[in-house]
Structure 1
Amino acid sequence: MKKILVTGGLGYIGSHVVVVLQEAGFDVTIIDDFSNSSIKVLENIFLITGIKPSFFEIDLKDKVKVDTFFKANKIDGIIHFAAYKAVGESVQKPLDYYRNNLEGLLNVLESMEQYQIDNFIFSSSCSVYGQADQMPIIEKTPLKRAESPYGKTKAMGEEIISDFTKAMNKNAISLRYFNPVGSHKSYLLGDKSSGIPNNLLPYITQTASGLREQLIVFGKDYETKDGTAIRDYVDVNDIADAHVLALQYLLHKKNKDKLEFFNLGSGTGSTVLEIIEAFERANNLKIPYTISNRREGDIQEAYADFSKAKEKLHWQPKTSLEISMKTAWEFEKKLKENEFKIPNH
């Protein structure tokens, strides 16, 4: 049984990946520092799979604790999610983002080298492309300067991993997500952030539940069909499946390069207003919203060409946008029922 470490494994995408890893027969260990998660997520993973993963509360910036963990645990592969992820907040708190996202990554890679771990999967983002000149975005699309400190940490992370894998003869995959949406079919796992959501869909669901008075749409003066920004929304369960396929790809030594990149998206761009309408249609609800100025760090348009992931990883998205809208709302309703609150740190 291969032992896989998932850093940030109690977060939104990380928790879904832990579930599919366990269902695929991997022995999973989670590191998380609760900066944007809750111990309740660990309990819910157990409720879904019947398996309680090993768990360590560690801040990855703490080099001594990271080294102590790796010294005591034999790991066959690492999936690295642990990072701050809010675009808007990163503009306000750039040093927090650089320190957390890069220092944690460096400490994990140093332990990889020291304790002879060969396989690494990096949770990256379409933000590394900046505002691409052409759509859809392929992996060979030239990377532009990212618009936010968050995006810059992902681009820098990829550069660090590229240099590291070449120098140390390690294998890595960088999965560039577009916009994950939806929740687990049990409605026990979903997108729940502390404070005001930075992602569109939890903002919509919190508005629908009455937690927020209205949704704020940032910008209606983009050069798009309705003036609002276009993004590629892909179901979180499909993204989770891609991590298992990427891990198996590395473990079976199918990679040609030391670091390979894959886009994970639906291949379709939707405007903010189209997503609001899709949510209203799927759940028979009306969402009050107001238009505000553009948000600093945001780009106009991004959607993926996922043909490389389809060809090499045999992955493609399976879940419709309508299903994602429904599961996101069911998760929000369950949160309200259980009063599942994540503390602010």
Structure 2
Amino acid sequence: MQRILVTGGCGYIGSHTLVSLLSSTSTTYSVVVIDNLANSSCESLHRVADICSLSNFTLNADGTAGQDSNGRLSFRKVDCCNEPALRAVFDEFKSQGGFSAAIHFAGLKAVGESKLIPLKYYEVNIGATWTLLNLMEEYDCRHIVFSSSATVYGVAKDEKAKLKESDEVGVTITNCYGRTKYMIEQILTDFHVSQSLENKKEWSIAILRYFNPAGAHPSGKMGEDPDGVPNNLMPFVAQVAVGRRPHVTIFGNDYDTPDGTGIRDYLHVMDLADGHVAALRHLDGGKGNTKLNVFNLGTGTGYSVIDMIEAMGKAVGKPIPNVIGPRRPGDVTIYMADPTRAKEEMGWEATRNLDDMCNDLWRWQTLNPNGYLKE
């Protein structure tokens, strides 16, 4: 059994990835989740345990630690920027064989907010990674999957071309969130190169550039649970559909697209979650593959804002109220992935379609109209 450290594992993508890890049929994983719960809820872990049939997952009295009866899912409330607290987790599990690999989700993630408090984003996102990498090196865990973002590409030179991993990154990024992801990619790259130059035991690294995750677990027990006003289109649409908000504002209908609205590459969150398991397999569980790997995780298919609103209306069974507003600064016409490399090199491709995304999202929203424990 391989023990995987998952930072930020209580969040939207992290919690769904836990389900993929714990449900894997090719490798048996146990996971240790660390999260400071600043923008997530540990209720997601109870849902993970339920979906994966893990018995008796319980938290201690103060909510700082939890575990199921077989030790497959463990939780420690820890901030990745807190070196002593994170070191204590490494110490705790060292006697049990340590960690085979880490999947690093932890960080601040709101694009708009990052423009308002940039120093906080640099401090948290880069600081957490710096602390984590130092401890991984010290405790001989040199295999990491990093949660990056398609925002590293910035504004593409050819907006209608699908983005490839070899395309330019870092130059035209429009927000601090994207810049922190780019900087962390550079840190990982420089660190990986330094190991080979010093003839040290090399690292195995997979950088995953996400496009637009949407949907929820098909059980309806887990989904995206944003604090405040959602930053992304689909959770906002779902909140309108359930009556929490009056309408969706479409930011611009004069783009050079068939219906005038921007086109994005949406993928089901469970496909995205499966991509992390595929990345671990590609790194061979930390055995022998010492390359630095960069993969787009997307479908290669684009849907417009109106496409998404209409598809959600189909799932709901009624039209979603919407109004047209002005364009937002920095929005581009089309943003789509070329996911060829992920398919060819690690055997991953998205298998769920737009109807799956919307039906699963609506099931989550109707069963949990106010998210996790927000009644």
**Superposition TM-score, scaled by structure 1 size:** 0.94
Q: Which residue is 1:45 aligned to?
A: 48
Alpha-carbon distance in 2 for matches of 1:294, 1:154? 25
The one of 167, 188, 200 equivalent to 2:194 is: 167
SS of 1:277's partner is: helix
Give the deviation of 1:237 after TM superposition. 0.7
Residues 1:105 and 2:105 aligned together: no
Alpha-carbon distance in 1 for matches of 2:344, 2:44? 33
Residues 1:263 and 2:283 aligned together: no
Alpha-carbon distance in 2 for matches of 1:254, 1:176? 23
Q: Which amino acid aligns with 1:2?
A: Q
Residues 1:122 and 2:146 aligned together: yes
Give the deviation of 1:244 after TM superposition. 0.7
Structure 1 residues 97 and 298 mapped into 2: Cα distance closer, same or farther (>3 Å)?
A: farther
The one of 123, 137, 142 equivalent to 2:168 is: 142
Alpha-carbon distance in 2 for matches of 1:252, 1:97? 31
RMSD of aligned alpha carbons: 1.8
Instruction: Judge conservation of contact 1:38–1:342 (CA < 8 Å) in 2.
Output: no
Instruction: Judge conservation of contact 2:100–2:286 (CA < 8 Å) in 1.
Output: no
Instruction: Judge conservation of contact 2:216–2:269 (CA < 8 Å) in 1.
Output: yes
Q: Which residue is 2:63 aligned to?
A: none
1:153-232 paired onto structure 2 within 5 Å = 153-168=180-195, 169-232=202-265
1:1-345 paired onto structure 2 within 5 Å = 1-24=1-24, 25-51=28-54, 52=68, 53-73=73-93, 74-134=98-158, 135-143=161-169, 144-168=171-195, 169-251=202-284, 258-336=291-369, 340-341=372-373
Instruction: Judge conservation of contact 1:91–1:297 (CA < 8 Å) in 2.
Output: no
Alpha-carbon distance in 2 for matches of 1:230, 1:255? 40
Q: Which amino acid aligns with 1:34?
A: L
Alpha-carbon distance in 2 for matches of 1:299, 1:31? 35
Give the deviation of 1:55 after TM superposition. 0.1
Q: Which amino acid aligns with 2:322?
A: Y
Structure 1 residues 96 and 205 mapped into 2: Cα distance closer, same or farther (>3 Å)?
A: same
Alpha-carbon distance in 2 for matches of 1:235, 1:322? 10
Give the deviation of 1:118 after TM superposition. 1.6
- How many matched pairs? 342
Give the deviation of 1:342 after TM superposition. 5.3
> Based on CA coordinates, which of the two structures has the bigger radius of gyration?
2
Instruction: Judge conservation of contact 1:37–1:342 (CA < 8 Å) in 2.
Output: no
Give the deviation of 1:252 after TM superposition. 5.3
Instruction: Judge conservation of contact 1:263–1:308 (CA < 8 Å) in 2.
Output: yes
Gaps of 5+ in 2: 55-67, 196-201
SS of 2:368's partner is: helix
SS of 2:207's partner is: strand
Structure 1 residues 339 and 167 mapped into 2: Cα distance closer, same or farther (>3 Å)?
A: closer
